[in-house]
Amino acid sequence: MARAWCCDKGTPEGGGALLADVSLPAAVIHEAPLAHNLAWMQRFADAHGARLAPHGKTSMAPALFKRQIEAGAWGITLATAAQCRAAFAHGTARLLMANQLVGEANMAIVADLLEAGADFHCVVDSADNVRQLGRYFAARGLRLKVLIELGIEGGRCGCRDHDQVLALGEAIDSESALVLAGLEGYEGVVQGDDPQASVRGYAWRLVEACRALDHEGLFETAEPIITASGSAWYDLIAEAFQQARLAEHIVPVLRPGCYVVHDHGLYREAQRGVLARRPELQRGLEPALEVFAQVQSLPEPGLAIAALGKRDIAADQLPLALRRYREGGSPDDGLSVAGWRVTKLMDQHAFIRLPEARDDDIRVGDIVAFGASHPCLTFDKWRQLLLVDDQLRVRETLTTLF
């Protein structure tokens, strides 16, 4: 009899069979492609003379942070003070908050982290925020490392031009509790008829702003950083930073996050673009995250309903049916899902249109592996994920901190 281990309710550390012992649906990370992705992106950063600070909001999984750092990552990027606190509590010492630190409650979290020994950076883009941070951290007797954010017209946060960057650098210099430690940007908000040209242009704006701050002597750390890069255009950012031949003391830092498990949608398409631009790169990233769920109903010809919905898997693009298995069967006995197409997701139901020549061996209880686009929006639906080997044996349970 199956032992009904549940992914959200205390799955044992390992040893169970995914196809027999786990209550489904369950979010699954495949061990081999995960290891490949960790090594691949670290090699990419190293080859471009850059450090890697993966964006941790993708997974919020301390076990993955640990693997990324063990693979060579310089630190972990996060989006909020609360995320930074959670990561630090689970062993991540260097934190890059790629966001403005606003509100005294959030400042208090960061001050506590600094007092506990965290190496912390955040971004600023306004004189008001600089004054607020300067006043708060001076009162706490601490010094806060900040990065000036350079944005784009019509984008989200960030200074809009180099004059604003330099003026903000002067404002930071006047605050004894603040340390200007570099420049930050994010190319994912860049728009244009020619996205590649627009991203390249933005990358060079970052380079020139960094040079200007350095020329004015406004950096106060021995190794100021210049940092950008999401998971779609990291090659263009790395290329620009490498070609710029910045001063030796300026350190490029790349921040992709989704690479850790890649995906079957948005970032798979982006990766094809990377490999087309850089054919010398070998093999590329591999999807490692899937959600396994069971067929729960075959209510009419040509339609299957799976016990999988928006509460289980990202829905910005509809999931893809990848493989099918018999419950309790062997992972080597994969069954066909050719022609299967997810047409609709409800909270906990997926509508799957089957091909006209319906395969009569489809059964209620069959287990289907689904792939999704944009892994951030699958990770945040789970408090635990299962790491499995190539025989779909559970090797480890990975806890998330959402």
pTM of the predicted model as reported, rounded to 2 decimal places: 0.94
Mean pLDDT of the 328-347 span: 95
pLDDT at residue 98 is higher than 90 = yes
- Average pLDDT, integer, range 233-238: 97
pLDDT at 191 over 70: yes
Residue 300 has pLDDT above 50, yes or no: yes
Q: What is the rounded average pLDDT of the residues 216-229?
A: 97
Which range among 227-236, 287-296, 352-361, 381-390 shows the weakest confidence by mean pLDDT? 352-361
- pLDDT for 7: 54
User: Is the pLDDT confidence value at 120 over 80?
Assistant: yes
Half-sphere exposure of 122 (CA within 13 A, CB side): 27
Same fold, 5-29+285-399 and 93-256: no
Q: Is the pLDDT of residue 123 over 70?
A: yes
* SS3 readout for the chain: CCCCEECCCCCCCCCCEHHHHEECCEEEEEHHHHHHHHHHHHHHHHHCCCEECCEHHHCCCHHHHHHHHHCCCCCEEECCHHHHHHHHHCCCCEEEEEEECCCHHHHHHHHHHHHCCCEEEEEECCHHHHHHHHHHHHHCCCCEEEEEEECCCCCCCCECCHHHHHHHHHHHHCCCCEEEEEEECCHHHCCCCCHHHHHHHHHHHHHHHHHHHHHCCCCCCCCCEEEECCCCCHHHHHHHHHHCCCCCCCEEEECCCHHHCCCCCHHHHHHHHHHHHCCCCCCCCCCCEEEEEEEEEEEECCEEEECCCCCCCCCCCCCEEEEEECCCCCCCCCECCCCCEEEEECCCCEEEECCCCCCCCCCCCCEEEEECCCCHHHHCCCCEEEEECCCCEEEEEEECCC
Is 80 exceeded by the pLDDT of residue 252?
A: yes
Single out the residue of 237, 146, 147 nearest to residue 190, CA to CA.
237
Query: How many other CB atoms are found less than 10 A from the CB of residue 19?
Result: 21
Give the separation between CA 64 and CA 66, rounded to whole angstroms: 5
Kindly list the domain boundaries of the chain, sorted by start residue: 5-29+285-399, 93-256
CATH architecture of residue range(s) 5-29+285-399: Beta Barrel (2.40)
For residue 124, give the amino acid letter.
V
Mean pLDDT of 376-381: 97
Beta bridge partner(s), residue 290: 28
Residue 8 has pLDDT above 90, yes or no: no
Flag whether pLDDT at 6 surpasses 60. no
Residue 328 has pLDDT above 90, yes or no: yes
Per-residue pLDDT band at 14 (split at 50, 70, 90): low
User: What tens digit of pLDDT does each residue of 125-161 get?
Assistant: 999 999 999 999 999 999 999 999 999 999 999 999 9
Interval 286-297 mean pLDDT: 98
Task: Kindly state the average pLDDT of the residues 254-280.
Answer: 95
Q: Is the pLDDT of residue 251 over 80?
A: yes
Q: What is the pLDDT of residue 359?
A: 57
Number of Cβ within a 10 Å radius of residue 46: 12
Computed over every residue of the chain, the mean pLDDT equals 94
Work out whether the CA dihedral 80, 84, 85, 86 comes out positive or negative: positive
pLDDT recorded at residue 200: 97
Q: What is the structure's pLDDT at 282?
A: 82
Residue 11's pLDDT is 45
Confidence band of 3 (pLDDT split at 50, 70, 90): very low
Quote the tokens at residue 342: 């997810």
Tell how far CA 105 is from the center of its chain.
Answer: 26
CATH code of domain 93-256: 3.20.20.10
